[in-house]
């Protein structure tokens, strides 16, 4: 990098639009969507899709609800031409879907393109030629009038061949390629020339596609270009203003959303943003951005995991794990504070019956709306806290830890996960909890316990094994646990008291177990938890006491 980039690069000049209106507007409805996955997206693949892959992706786009799909560049190759013919001859295009084909402003290519469309029901012929100063100078070596004539002549060639498509509904789309880097006055001049040649009507409007072919400015400048164009276009009532943004500056989504505020009607893009260089517009992101603001996007991504699998299989591309909405990790929280907030948000929503406006911290929309499951939301690694650990145990196994026990087990679990150096599953967390609490049978192990009582006085007898030796104890108290505590004290174990006791069912039916959580306070003031699991509630609580004693180190060395 050079010390003074201004010697090599310059900022794109702003648009003179002092009365701009788009900053004060709000999006209220979805645009017309056009997928260009099969053409623009396909040309950006290291290995382009074959016919069977294109057919599979085409069907996936139909399931999403796309009504306009750019299927290829039929004049570019025999494969592209054959694909167009197969769609038509096999009657794979639904009656309400319009296919779109791209062609340059060359007569031989236009002829071949029209031939590919014979027998189609509805089609858009998308004509383009570059208009920017760099393209005019470097690529074509032409002046402005010659560029205008190129566009006008291409439009005329298409119009002259319409009799070959008698019986088909044909619409015209024109793109001044590199619009974003073209003087807006000249873009307007070229488009007006095309409109005059095509003669659109309100019933059959022309599509004027204004591409941000290469991002050269901040997204607000693109929005200004679109609003200026809409305000100055003479044939606005017979024109559909379309957007086609790329992502060179990483702001393709922002540019599209601002340009929709500026007056555009239609959006071209690809699933997950596949395209040249840094990619095309990601239609999934923009559509779901609308959805999370309460606007029906007109596209259905209810099964986004399945859509992602089709996309990856057909294109050979991968969706990054942090990709908006579709990435593997976007509905996942590793931070302990995030996990705790999400868990509490779910609990509040469940308490309210799930009918309230969605307002769960850190989740912009409900994962289940996209076919994702809540179990995907919270996962645990060494960065996680007690909230994530507790959520997984509760959601997967019904193990609802008391708050104080969460605070005790959370750091222990994190230490174990940190030692593993990876993410852990809910099953692994359960194993950790069982090993640390439920399976603590040394140095003190319970073999048998029996208690009965009358008028608030319980008597117990228990057989245990302590440091390898058999131990029989008896005691009295106002309940089974109190009787057991007194029995252990009478056998000479260090003094302690039970300060908290909880119990819950694990599962249902005759084989259901009970889990008991028992907290004790030692003679030196330490608070320690234990846990016991048994099909008999009373035995689960006694095993919880034994677990706490073993964890506190009070059971050995009498």
Q: Are 379 and 510 contained in the same domain?
A: no
CA angle 198, 191, 161 (to 5 degrees): 30
The verdict on residue 144 lying in a domain is: yes
Q: Are 251 and 285 contained in the same domain?
A: yes
Give the strand pairing for 513-522 and 527-534: antiparallel
Termini Cα distance of the chain = 74
E strands of 488-537, at which residues?
496-506, 513-522, 527-534
Q: Are 518 and 472 contained in the same domain?
A: yes
The verdict on residue 343 lying in a domain is: yes
The verdict on residue 557 lying in a domain is: no
Q: Are 264 and 411 contained in the same domain?
A: no
Q: Are 223 and 351 contained in the same domain?
A: no
Q: Rounded to the nearest 10 degrees, what angle do helices 283-291 and 252-261 cross at?
A: 50
Residues in a beta bridge with 243:
210, 267
The verdict on residue 270 lying in a domain is: yes
For residues 417 and 372, the answer to whether their CB atoms sit within 8 Å is no
From residue 239, how far is each of 27, 147, 155, 181, 532 by CA, in Å?
A: 20, 21, 15, 22, 73
Q: Are 114 and 234 contained in the same domain?
A: yes
Q: Which of 402, 418, 438 delimits the end of a domain?
A: 438
Rounded CA gap, 129 and 125, in Å?
13
- Encode pLDDT of 464-516 as tens digits: 999 989 999 999 999 999 999 999 999 999 999 999 999 999 876 656 799 99
Tokens of 265: 């009607």
Q: Are 284 and 362 contained in the same domain?
A: no
Tokens of 14: 């702003």
Helix (H, G, I), strand (E, B) or coil at 520: strand
For 361, counting Cβ atoms within 10 Å of its Cβ (0-12 exposed, 13-18 middle, 19+ buried), the class is middle
Q: Are 200 and 127 contained in the same domain?
A: yes
The verdict on residue 330 lying in a domain is: no
The verdict on residue 13 lying in a domain is: no
Helix (H, G, I), strand (E, B) or coil at 532: strand
Rounded CA gap, 550 and 37, in Å?
63
The position carrying tokens 């809409």 is 230
DSSP 32-60: EEEE-IIIIIHHTSSS---HHHHHHHHHH
For residues 341 and 362, the answer to whether their CB atoms sit within 8 Å is yes
The position carrying tokens 């005059």 is 196
Q: Which of 438, 460, 476 delimits the end of a domain?
A: 438
E strands of 39-196, at which residues?
68-72, 98-104, 122-130, 169-177
Quickly count: other Cβ atoms within 10 Å of residue 337's Cβ: 14
Cα dihedral sign, 191-195-201-203: negative
Rounded CA gap, 484 and 114, in Å?
91
DSSP one-letter code for 324: T
Q: Are 388 and 508 contained in the same domain?
A: no
Quickly count: other Cβ atoms within 10 Å of residue 523's Cβ: 11
Q: Are 273 and 173 contained in the same domain?
A: yes
458: left (phi over 0), alpha (psi -120 to 50) or beta: beta
For residues 263 and 223, the answer to whether their CB atoms sit within 8 Å is no
For residues 287 and 64, the answer to whether their CB atoms sit within 8 Å is no
Q: Which of 266, 284, 315 delimits the end of a domain?
A: 315
Q: How many domains does the chain have?
A: 3
Ordered per-residue pLDDT tens for the chain, 558 residues: 999 999 999 999 999 999 999 999 999 999 999 999 999 999 999 999 999 999 999 999 999 999 999 999 999 999 899 999 999 999 999 999 999 999 999 999 999 999 999 999 999 999 999 999 999 999 989 999 999 999 999 999 999 999 999 999 999 999 999 999 999 999 999 999 999 999 999 999 999 999 999 999 999 999 999 999 999 999 999 999 999 999 999 999 999 999 999 999 999 999 999 999 999 999 999 999 999 999 999 999 999 999 999 999 999 999 999 999 999 999 988 887 888 889 899 999 999 888 889 999 999 999 999 999 766 566 677 777 777 788 888 888 889 999 999 999 988 888 888 888 888 888 999 999 999 999 999 999 999 999 998 878 999 999 999 998 999 999 999 999 999 999 999 999 999 999 999 999 987 665 679 999 999 999 999 999 999 999 999 999 999 999 999 999 987 655
The verdict on residue 411 lying in a domain is: yes
For residues 205 and 160, the answer to whether their CB atoms sit within 8 Å is no
Rounded CA gap, 415 and 420, in Å?
9
Q: What is the pLDDT of residue 340?
A: 86
For residues 287 and 316, the answer to whether their CB atoms sit within 8 Å is no
CATH number, domain with residue 60: 3.20.20.70
Residues in CB range of 424: below 8 A, 6 or more apart = 380, 381, 417, 432
The verdict on residue 331 lying in a domain is: no
CATH number, domain with residue 523: 3.30.160.270
Q: Are 214 and 276 contained in the same domain?
A: yes
- Domain containing residue 464: 444-552
Q: Are 292 and 346 contained in the same domain?
A: no
């Amino acid at each position: 990098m050079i010390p003074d980039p201004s010697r090599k690069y310059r900022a794109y000049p702003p648009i003179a639009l002092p009365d701009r209106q788009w900053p004060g507007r709000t999006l209220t409805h979805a645009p017309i969507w056009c997928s260009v996955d099969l053409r623009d997206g396909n040309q950006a693949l290291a290995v382009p899709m074959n016919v069977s892959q294109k057919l599979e992706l085409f069907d996936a786009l139909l399931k999403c609800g796309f009504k306009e799909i750019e299927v290829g560049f039929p004049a570019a190759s025999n494969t592209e031409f054959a694909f167009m013919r197969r769609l038509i001859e096999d009657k794979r295009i639904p009656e309400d879907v319009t296919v779109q084909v791209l062609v340059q402003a060359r007569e031989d290519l236009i002829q071949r393109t029209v031939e590919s469309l014979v027998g189609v029901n509805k089609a858009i012929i998308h004509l383009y030629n570059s208009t920017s100063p760099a393209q005019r100078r470097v690529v074509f070596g032409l002046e402005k009038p010659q560029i205008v004539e190129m566009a006008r002549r291409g439009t005329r060639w298409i119009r002259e061949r319409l009799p070959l498509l008698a019986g088909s509904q044909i619409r015209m789309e024109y793109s001044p390629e590199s619009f974003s880097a073209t003087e807006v006055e000249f873009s307007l001049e070229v488009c007006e020339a095309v409109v005059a040649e095509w003669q659109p009507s309100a019933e059959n409007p022309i599509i004027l596609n204004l591409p941000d072919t290469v991002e050269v400015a901040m997204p607000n400048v693109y929005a200004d270009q679109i609003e200026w164009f809409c305000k100055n276009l003479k044939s606005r009532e017979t024109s559909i203003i379309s957007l086609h943004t790329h992502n060179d500056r990483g702001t393709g989504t922002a540019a599209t959303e601002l340009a929709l505020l500026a007056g555009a009607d239609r959006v071209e893009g690809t699933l997950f943003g596949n395209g040249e260089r840094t990619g095309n517009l990601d239609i999934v992101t923009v559509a779901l951005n609308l959805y999370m603001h309460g606007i029906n996007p007109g596209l259905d991504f209810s099964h986004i995991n399945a859509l992602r699998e089709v996309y990856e299989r057909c294109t050979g591309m991968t969706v990054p794990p942090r990709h908006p909405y579709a990435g593997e990790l976007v509905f996942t929280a590793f931070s302990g504070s995030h996990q705790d907030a999400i868990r509490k948000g779910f609990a509040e929503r469940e308490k309210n019956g799930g009918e309230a406006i969605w307002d769960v911290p850190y989740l912009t929309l409900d994962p289940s709306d996209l076919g994702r499951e809540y179990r995907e939301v919270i996962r645990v690694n060494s960065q996680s806290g007690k909230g994530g650990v507790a959520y997984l145990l509760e959601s997967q196994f019904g193990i609802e830890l008391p708050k104080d026990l969460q605070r005790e087990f959370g750091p222990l679990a994190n230490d174990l996960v940190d030692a593993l150096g990876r993410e852990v599953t809910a099953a692994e967390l359960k194993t950790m909890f069982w090993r640390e609490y439920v399976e603590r049978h040394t140095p003190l192990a319970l073999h048998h316990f029996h208690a009965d009582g009358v008028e608030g006085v319980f008597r117990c007898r228990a057989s245990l094994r302590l440091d390898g030796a058999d131990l029989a104890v008896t005691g009295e108290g106002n309940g089974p646990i109190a009787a057991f505590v007194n029995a252990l004290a009478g056998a000479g174990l260090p003094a302690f008291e039970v300060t908290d006791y909880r119990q819950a069912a694990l599962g249902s039916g005759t084989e259901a177990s009970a889990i008991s959580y028992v907290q004790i306070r030692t003679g030196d003031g330490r608070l320690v938890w234990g846990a016991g699991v048994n099909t008999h509630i009373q035995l689960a609580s006694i095993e919880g006491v034994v677990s706490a004693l073993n964890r506190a180190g009070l059971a050995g060395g009498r």
